[in-house]
Amino acid sequence: MYPTIDQYNLSSGMGQLFVYAQATVPFYVDLLFGVLLGIITISIYFSQESKKGRGDFPVAFAVGTTTTTVLLVIMGMLSSFVPFRTLGIFLSLTVISYLILFFSDDR
């Protein structure tokens, strides 16, 4: 049986809605921050492309993963919304993105 929204104290803040969504859909956090990572990375890439004439994907990916990981850490400190599995995945993605950035041919 799925938990109902009546079981959560919504007067304590909007964060309880995220906790409710996480309890209902176990991979909600992964999807939420994965989409956020994609949006940030693509927007940075196309912003660079419109200003400079070409986009730099390793830079956009490194900035996107760093921003998403910082938001994940902040959300993890505020509530029990972020599981350690998700934090580990995004931390490893951040390290991989910086390795790609440092070893890319354009540097």
Domain annotation covers residue 15: no
pLDDT score for 19: 76
- The confidence score (pLDDT) of residue 8 equals 72
Contact, 87 vs 73, CB < 8 A?
A: yes
How far is the CA of 51 from the CAs of 22, 30, 45, 46, 58, in angstroms?
Answer: 39, 32, 10, 9, 17
Q: Flag whether 67 is in a domain.
A: yes
Q: Residue 41: its pLDDT value, please?
A: 96
Q: Does 9 fall in a domain?
A: no
What is the total residue count of the chain?
107
Domain count, the chain: 1
Question: Which pLDDT score is estimated for 107?
Answer: 55
Structural domain contains residue 96: yes
| Host domain of residue 75 | 25-102
pTM exceeding the 0.95 threshold for the entire prediction: no
Residues of the chain where predicted confidence (pLDDT) is lower than 70: 1-2, 79, 107
Give a yes or no: residue 51 inside a domain: yes
Report if residue 107 sits inside a domain: no
pLDDT score recorded for residue 53: 87
